Structure formats: structure tokens, C-alpha cells
Structure 1
């Protein structure tokens, strides 16, 4: 997926987050050991979630907004964006998608096949 924000906006979002993922448990992890906030810091090496370098994303802060099409998410103002590590972003996105799917009305059977 292409970057959500231009470089200047990305830098502003990451700076406002002090270079740290802003997830406070929407990913399904309580982050209790870290004061309730994800400990992932941009540019550091993490041993959790696959041993890799942390690269923070600027993405919608509201979990349900993570489901927006890319062109709508890219138009969000800075105040509606947050810094996310890949693990928290992906887990929160999955949770939001599952909530949306569960809230969707059940599909009616196709009348063409009613007997």
C-alpha cells in the first residue's frame, strides 16, 4: 500500500508521538508492562512480533477509520492521525474489520432460488 501521508505530515505525526507507537490496546494487547502504551519506538530493533526494525506508520487514529479507502485516509488532517507500529496497526485493522463484519446485517438469500 502506498504511504498514507507525505513526508512532512508523516514527520509531524511521528514527532507528535515522540517517535513511539500510540496504540493503547486497540490491537488486543493491553501494553500493561509499558504504562498502557505500545513500547515500539521508530528506528529501534524489536524482538517482539518477528524481530525487525520498527518503522512507524502515520495512519488514522480511530480504529474504524483504518477501514477507509486509501484516498479518504490520505485526506485526513494531522489531528486525526496517529503513529502506529506495523503489528498494532495490522491487529487493530483486523479487529475493526471483524467488528464491521459482525455488525453487518445478514445477507438475505437470493429470491431467484426461493422455492
Structure 2
């Protein structure tokens, strides 16, 4: 953990989540990938190098473990306990968030057509 760069906000919470994840993304398929090559868990590690999606250094983030909770407003997501958080690489996080948004839109009732409601 010597060369790893922590985030600017709530360092203690972030360190606890990353330590619990042993510095590795905890996605197990919520992003839409099976991660079968990595033992059914994303293989990206904090501070490691990602060869795809633009390359560069992987910076894990602490976000809700349940992708549905990623849709919470920021002030409610920030109030979640450490046990409700997981380490996510940016690629898995973005994909899981997109899937959660798509599922929420599909589950929402259709909006009435206000143009013709009289």
C-alpha cells in the first residue's frame, strides 16, 4: 500500500473498504461480465495497470455493494455503513451503475402523456 493514492474524502472509510477487499475489485458480475478468468471476481487491483479501456493505473473506489443502492442520492450513499460498501474498479462500477439505471427505468411505471390529459 505504499505507492497507492487514497481519495480526498473520508480516508478512513475508504481504507477500511479497500483493506476488506484486499486491494482488489469486488465485482462478481454485477457489471455484466462473468469474470470467469479471475475466479468469478474482477482481477483489477488498486494501483495496478489496466491493459484495456484506455490503460492507466487502476484507482479503486468505495461505493455501495448493492448496485441498486448506487442510485441513492449522494448524501444517502455517503451515510451507508462500511458493511454496505464494496471496492469497485471504475469500469465495473460504471457498468453496474448503468445496469442499475436500466433496471430502474424498466421497473418504473410509464409516465402519463400529459399533453393529452384534459
Name the TM-score, length of structure 2 as normaliser.
0.89
RMSD: 1.6
Q: Does 1:89 align with 2:93?
A: yes
Query: Mind listing any 5+ residue stretches in structure 2 that lack a counterpart?
Result: 1-6
Rounded to whole Å, the distance in 2 between the matches of 1:4 and 1:101 is: 32
Q: Which residue of 2 aligns with 1:45?
A: 49
Rounded to whole Å, the distance in 2 between the matches of 1:80 and 1:61 is: 6
Count of matched residue pairs: 112
Query: Mind listing any 5+ residue stretches in structure 1 that lack a counterpart?
Result: none
In the TM superposition, what is the alpha-carbon distance from 1:48 to its structure 2 partner?
Answer: 2.0
Residue 49 of structure 1 aligns to a residue whose secondary structure is coil
Extract structure 1 runs of 4+ deviating beyond 3 A: none
Cα distance per residue 1:40-59 (max 9 Å; x no partner): 00001110222110000000
* TM-aligned CA distance change 1:114 to 1:71, over 3 Å: closer
Residue 88 of structure 1 aligns to a residue whose secondary structure is helix
After superposition, residues 10-21 of structure 1 pair within 5 angstroms as 10-21=14-25
* TM-aligned CA distance change 1:17 to 1:41, over 3 Å: same
* TM-aligned CA distance change 1:4 to 1:25, over 3 Å: farther
Cα distance per residue 1:39-83 (max 9 Å; x no partner): 000001110222110000000000100111110000000000000
Name the TM-score, length of structure 1 as normaliser.
0.92
